[in-house]
Amino acid sequence: MRDPITSTARIFRIASGALAMLLIAAIFTVSAAAGPATNPQDGVRGFYDVLLITMKDGRTLGQSGRYTRLGPVVAQLFDVPLMARFAVGSSWANLNDAQQRQVSEAFAHYITATYADRFDSYSGEQLEVTGQQPYGAEMIVETKIIKSKGDTVSLNYRMRQNAGSWQIADVYLDGTISQLATQRSEFHSVLQRDGVDGLIIALNRKVDLLTRNVAKAS
């Protein structure tokens, strides 16, 4: 008769090995999806793959999990310094290097928190890349988000090449509304009233509010 303790230990070792392989596969999937984009559509598809994984794990990840998971992807795929410079506008030239870096970092946190808040859980949504259109030397990648009830939202990404990799330079809500143009209008009023330090504080405050919303949704 086989020793039950030995058999149980063997089963446990097999199960543990299988779990480890699954965890390694999951980490590899997220890392591969978040890798440098050599094709504009592949870059957005990789981003959507990570978003879907994050949505499906959304409630388990908890308060900061979604934000933590999406942060490296945003840092790699979004051309944050360019986006921050455009959103700040002509005032950017008056900022010193440290201020430009602080604004860019705060802006990256804000983008990450926004996605973590809006894509907080999964109920059958589909995130699809549907095509691309040239935009001068850049490319518009067209996507649609199909909600669980069948409603469709268009979300397009303006992509530009940066050091051999395609990065997101702007996002168009409903396919046409430039998110950067909207933010530039918002940032201008803050800069006029409170200066660059006020803008950094305002961005960080928005991140705090969004991450608190993530916590409530979890």
Residues 6+ apart with CB under 8 A from 211: 63, 64, 67, 113, 116, 117
Q: Judge if 204 and 104 occupy the same domain.
A: yes
pLDDT, tens digit (0-9, with 9 covering 90-100), for 118-144: 999 999 999 999 999 999 999 999 999
Give residue 213's pLDDT: 54
In a domain, 111, yes or no: yes
Domain of 98, CATH number, reads 1.10.10.640
Give residue 34's pLDDT: 52
pLDDT value at 27 more than 90: no
Q: Judge if 26 and 110 occupy the same domain.
A: no
In a domain, 57, yes or no: yes
Please tell me the distance from the alpha carbon of residue 208 to that of residue 202, in angstroms, as a whole number: 10
In a domain, 65, yes or no: yes
Q: Judge if 118 and 16 occupy the same domain.
A: no
- Cβ(47)–Cβ(109) under 8 Å? no
Q: Judge if 69 and 115 occupy the same domain.
A: yes
Q: Judge if 56 and 98 occupy the same domain.
A: yes
In a domain, 151, yes or no: no
Lookup: tokens for 89: 């506008």
pTM here is 0.80
Q: Judge if 101 and 209 occupy the same domain.
A: yes
- Structurally, how many domains does the chain consist of? 2
Q: Judge if 29 and 57 occupy the same domain.
A: no
| Domain of residue 99, residue span | 36-123+177-217
Q: Judge if 29 and 114 occupy the same domain.
A: no
pLDDT value at 156 more than 80: yes
Q: Judge if 70 and 3 occupy the same domain.
A: no
In a domain, 199, yes or no: yes
